[in-house]
Amino acid sequence: AQTVTQSQPEMSVQEAETVTLSCTYDTSESDYYLFWYKQPPSRQMILVIRQEAYKQQNATENRFSVNFQKAAKSFSLKISDSQLGDAAMYFCAYRKGGKLIFGQGTELSVKP
Amino acid sequence: GAGVSQSPSNKVTEKGKDVELRCDPISGHTALYWYRQRLGQGLEFLIYFQGNSAPDKSGLPSDRFSAERTGESVSTLTIQRTQQEDSAVYLCASSLVGGDGQPQHFGDGTRLSIL
């Protein structure tokens, strides 16, 4: 069965600095998708970034980028120039066959 | 509205009662998903509907849980004889089609509290 592990329950970053959130996963599949979602206190899940496993190039979305290491089954999220509005729970997720499989989440706080 | 709509936002009920949670997906989205999020945890997959295909029910935790969807519209998640461990936020998501690359758009969830 596929699993997703986020080993950092909490992280903290100074405003304007860079932070990296870790995620590892386990699968025997070769073609799949990986996602990072943000969940602020409002509860709504917001898609941050998406990576296709067959693409070697790391995805980027403005201040958000990933470091995708397929052989190591690692999918970390880098947030550059952190802003107060980035404070939230961040979930890494794997998708193959429709459903999303989520990690336990990392709570990110941003210090002014 | 433009997004996934869930109702009610909050539901408090007594142990042993049945509850129904509702999800209105984004118009035109053929795929619909239900997830459960316990306090401080990640989301757990419950069930997935794709068009007229048989739903993927592999995540339903017990036979007290069931879900229906009529066509490509509203879905209801029913929990019978609720237990305290059913307390959680229940999130619904929809996507344009069921392909793995399609992003899932989430509603704000229903917070269910079992007394």
Residue A43: per-residue pLDDT: 83
Tell me if B66 is assigned to some domain: yes
- Asked if B83 contacts A21 with a C-beta cutoff of 8 angstroms, the reply is no
Closest partner residue to A100 (CB to CB) among B45, B107, B108 is: B45
Tell me if B77 is assigned to some domain: yes
Residue B99: per-residue pLDDT: 76
Helices (H) and strands (E) in chain B, counts: 0, 10
Q: Cα(B17)–Cα(A44) distance, rounded to whole angstroms? A: 27
User: What domains can be seen in chain A, in order of their start residue?
Assistant: 3-111 (2.60.40.10)
Domain range enclosing B51 = 15-98
Q: Cα(B59)–Cα(B67) distance, rounded to whole angstroms? A: 12
Closest partner residue to A102 (CB to CB) among B43, B89, B109 is: B43
- Average pLDDT rounded to a whole number, residues B91-101: 86
Tell me if B68 is assigned to some domain: yes
Closest partner residue to A102 (CB to CB) among B42, B89, B100 is: B42
**Residue B68: strand pairing partners:** B76
Q: Determine how β-strand A60-61 pairs with β-strand A64-69.
A: antiparallel
pLDDT averaged over chain A?
Answer: 94
Residue B1: per-residue pLDDT: 53
Contact A44 B107 (CB under 8 A): yes
CATH of the domain at B79: 2.60.40.10
With 80 as the cut, is the pLDDT of residue B100 above it? no
B63 CA: distance to closest CA in chain A (Å): 20
Mutation site, A6, A8, A45, interface B, largest B CB count within 10 A: A45
User: Helix, strand or coil for residue A110?
Assistant: strand
Shortest CA distance from A92: residue in chain B: B42
**Number of domains present in the structure of chain B:** 1
For residue B19, give both structure tokens: 């509850």
User: Helix, strand or coil for residue A21?
Assistant: strand
Tell me if B110 is assigned to some domain: no
